[in-house]
Structure 1
Amino acid sequence: MKRLLTALMVMALCLCAASAFAADGSWERVKSAGQLVIGLDDAFPPMGFRDDNGTLVGLDVDTAEEVGKRLGIKIMWQPTEWKGVINSLYAKKFDCIWNGMTITPERQKKVAFSKPYLMDGQIATVRMDEKEIKTFEALGGKKIGVQAGSPALEAAKKLPNAAGEIREYDTNPKAFLDLEADRLDSVVVDNVTGRYYMASRPGEFRALPGYITKEAFGVAYRMEDAALRGMIQKAIDEMIADGTMGKISRKWFGEDVTNPAKW
């Protein structure tokens, strides 16, 4: 009898949750409109940016467009100022924010995030032909380059063994030029930026395994829009399972950085 009562209580809770999930009307609103409006900063390669022809491209763009196809809706992109992007979301200028948005405790108080779909953070890169440096520990005493004013500087200071020298550069490409020329042993860089740069220069650099720091990316929704969040999450989960997310990732990064099993 006790087991039966427990089972009935679980079923009742599930039904209540499902009812609440469907009742907010957010998915029906988007479905009826036939379009999902997404807010983004359109100058954030490789997540969302303009190519030489002015066309919006990027990993987030490809992912959202595929979700739109699977859900039978059109994707409309709304470029917006990043500084006020959450205020614009609640002003209903768009339905969600999909633009490599880092999941932070502060933001979680204001928006409802999807599951992480990509792990960002700081990584360490070396030349492809480097044989001795295989782990973060091996960077002890080495010359490391970082972009001045970026989180990479603090990440480089958090390595297991202290670097021999940390050189600051105006831009990441300048640091990579010195790495290529053997004037540096490693460049510590944001994962998204670093892997995109490496993909554009195949065979020249590689990333050491793991992350020095981790910062997950998620899609952000209004707190009350649970039904919409659930429908899009289901599509993303299916894309991870059937390899579509991996294919999109390899297009932009040369490897699959969207598989949670590798984080």
Structure 2
Amino acid sequence: MKKIVGLFSCLLLIACAVSAFAAGDGSFKRVKSQGVLTIGLDDAFPPMGYRTDKGELVGFDIDAAEEVGKRLGIKIKWQPTAWDGVIHSLNSKKFDCIWNGMTITDERKKEVAFTKPYKMDGQVAVVRFGEKQFKKLADLKNAKIGVQKGSSAVEAVKKLPAAPVEVREYEDNPKALLDLESKRIDSVVIDDATGRDFIAKRPGKFMILPGNITKEPFGVAFRKDDVELRQAVQKQLDAMVKDGTMGKISKKWFGEDITNPKKWK
């Protein structure tokens, strides 16, 4: 009798597990029923996501996410947040994902689940235009360097050929670049896409030192439990790469298609 009861209990547990697996985690169903995907971002991160002079939110990530929303039949709601605590805010359920040029790192993967990389980026060093003291990355050993708090630049500085004399953390990149222009610091370590965007918009003010400090893949971050939601977004991203939509968005913001993984090697 005990064996029969034990066998029955075992079969019941298996049935429950199979049922739970079949039901899924419900994350995409939840978002689909609400009709809204809420995305956390730093809205001062050009050209990935930033505000125009009129307050309009634009950028590469904005266009890509809006296209995914259209294909999924849901609206996109953007939730600006401080980048320093963005992962905590995601896991506190203040939004559904982080889509804002977030670098995929082993440390971050302990806390969130990423899509496959959709862009390859890297950290570079920006200096004032015509700078003579700092001509290469190794020269920054005598520099005061600015970085955005909570960004990949914080770790990238540690990978410079020589340690700088000082590293200052800023709330956002524009404030760091303002201090660079005012000669309060000597360089800003920043991701390549954003650095080039600033330089293009303010010609004759800044330039990038030769060479990348790091090579960094960008991904969309989700809570680890929201597997189905991440998979739904990934499916659309894959389709957009295949049909050329991501390439068109890339050319709009970068002048070339930088979303093709074959070019990242």
TM class by smaller structure: 0.5 to 0.7
Deviation at 1:22, TM superposition (A): 5.6
Task: Provide the residue aligned with 2:25 in structure 1.
Answer: 24
Task: Provide the residue aligned with 1:148 in structure 2.
Answer: 145
Q: Is the 8 A contact 2:49 2:58 kept in 1?
A: yes
Counterpart of 1:227, as a letter, is E
Q: Distance in 2 between matches of 1:60 and 1:190?
A: 15
- How do 1:210-225 residues align onto structure 2 when only pairs under 5 Å count? 211-225=212-226
Q: Name the CA shift for 1:141/1:86 in 2 (closer, same or farther; >3 Å).
A: closer
Q: Name the CA shift for 1:238/1:209 in 2 (closer, same or farther; >3 Å).
A: farther
Deviation at 1:62, TM superposition (A): 0.6
Cα shift readout 1:103-162 (whole Å, capped 9, x = no counterpart): 11111111111111111113589xxxxxxxxxxxxx79999xx9823557666628xxxx
Q: Name the CA shift for 1:69/1:199 in 2 (closer, same or farther; >3 Å).
A: farther
Q: Distance in 1 between matches of 2:73 and 2:248?
A: 21
Task: Provide the residue aligned with 1:111 in structure 2.
Answer: 112
Cα shift readout 1:48-102 (whole Å, capped 9, x = no counterpart): 1110100111111111000011111100111122222222212211111111111
Q: Name the CA shift for 1:111/1:195 in 2 (closer, same or farther; >3 Å).
A: same
Q: Is the 8 A contact 1:195 1:253 kept in 2?
A: no
Identify unmatched segments of 5+ residues in structure 2: 1-16, 127-135, 148-152, 168-174, 182-187
Q: Distance in 1 between matches of 2:247 and 2:56?
A: 23
TM (norm. structure 2) is 0.67
Cα shift readout 1:160-214 (whole Å, capped 9, x = no counterpart): xxxxxxxx9x9669999xxxxxxxxxx9863212342465589xx9999985421
Determine what percentage of the aligned residue pairs are the same residue: 61
Q: Distance in 2 between matches of 1:235 and 1:51?
A: 27
Matched, 1:78 2:79: yes
Q: Distance in 1 between matches of 2:207 and 2:84?
A: 33
Q: Distance in 2 between matches of 1:261 and 1:209?
A: 23
Q: Distance in 1 between matches of 2:138 and 2:96?
A: 49
Q: Is the 8 A contact 1:147 1:175 kept in 2?
A: no
TM (norm. structure 1) is 0.67
Q: Name the CA shift for 1:147/1:61 in 2 (closer, same or farther; >3 Å).
A: farther
Q: Distance in 1 between matches of 2:44 and 2:137?
A: 35
Cα shift readout 1:7-34 (whole Å, capped 9, x = no counterpart): xxxxxxxxx99x8386100011111111
Q: Is the 8 A contact 1:22 1:227 kept in 2?
A: no
Counterpart of 2:195, as a letter, is G
Task: Provide the residue aligned with 1:258 in structure 2.
Answer: 259
Counterpart of 1:75, as a letter, is I
Q: Name the CA shift for 1:140/1:220 in 2 (closer, same or farther; >3 Å).
A: closer
Q: Distance in 1 between matches of 2:260 and 2:207?
A: 18
Task: Provide the residue aligned with 2:194 in structure 1.
Answer: 193
Matched, 1:67 2:68: yes
Identify unmatched segments of 5+ residues in structure 1: 1-15, 126-138, 159-167, 177-186
- How do 1:34-53 residues align onto structure 2 when only pairs under 5 Å count? 34-53=35-54
Compute the RMSD of aligned alpha carbons. Answer: 4.1
Q: Is the 8 A contact 1:21 1:226 kept in 2?
A: no
Q: Name the CA shift for 1:174/1:104 in 2 (closer, same or farther; >3 Å).
A: same
Q: Is the 8 A contact 1:63 1:245 kept in 2?
A: yes
Q: Distance in 2 between matches of 1:147 and 1:251?
A: 34
Q: Distance in 1 between matches of 2:197 and 2:252?
A: 10
